[in-house]
Amino acid sequence: MCPMKNFAALDFETANGKRSSVCSVGVVVVREGVVCDSYYSLIRPQPNYYAQFCVDVHGLVFSDTEHERPFNEVWAEVAPLIEGLPLVAHNSPFDQGCLKAVFELYGMPYPNYTFHCTCRAARRAFPNLANHRLHTVSAHCGFDLTCHHHALADAQACAAIAMAIL
């Protein structure tokens, strides 16, 4: 199998149990096997409330995003960065579900992005790991994920995994 050399690693954090409630996004662009760009932004989520279980995970609260831009304005900056690239996420059904939900919420036509899942790939590549969570797999691939659940740090870890095994 030819290694994937061009892709964008993507990670979303959500404010509550609704997939449309993205409150931050991290993107890492890899071209010819080299990280060449990255992007991070907070986002004013919809619906705009924070569930405690989400706050406990990523630490973001209402006051962090109440004056931030909505998703459609943030995505206008992300879209050109990732144009024509396959997307990679750790547990891609979550991030792809968020992306589809927020596109639908804003009435934006979904461009049918191609997603690859580093979690699934890690299960195949490293079947003997204790678990296949992002911090475990990224450490196994030599990436030190010190700010887990910060969208950009998670996207960087995902990119490191993808470069190692996809």
In three-state form (DSSP H/G/I as H, E/B as E, the rest C), the secondary structure along the chain is: CCCCCCEEEEEEEECCCCCCCEEEEEEEEEECCEEEEEEEEECECCCCCCCHHHHHHHCCCHHHHCCCCEHHHHHHHHHHHHCCCCEEECCHHHHHHHHHHHHHHCCCCCCCCCEEEHHHHHHHHCCCCCCCCHHHHHHHCCCCCCCCCCHHHHHHHHHHHHHHHC
Whether 70 has a pLDDT exceeding 70, the answer reads: yes
Whether 2 has a pLDDT exceeding 80, the answer reads: no
Mean pLDDT of 47-65: 97
Q: What is the pLDDT of residues 71-103, one digit of tens each?
A: 999 999 999 999 999 999 999 999 999 999 999
Whether 124 has a pLDDT exceeding 80, the answer reads: yes
Q: In the chain, what are the domain boundaries?
A: 7-165
pTM above 0.75, yes or no: yes
Whether 37 has a pLDDT exceeding 70, the answer reads: yes
Select the CATH number that applies to the domain covering 7-165 from these four: 3.30.420.10, 3.40.47.10, 3.40.190.10, 3.40.50.2300. 3.30.420.10
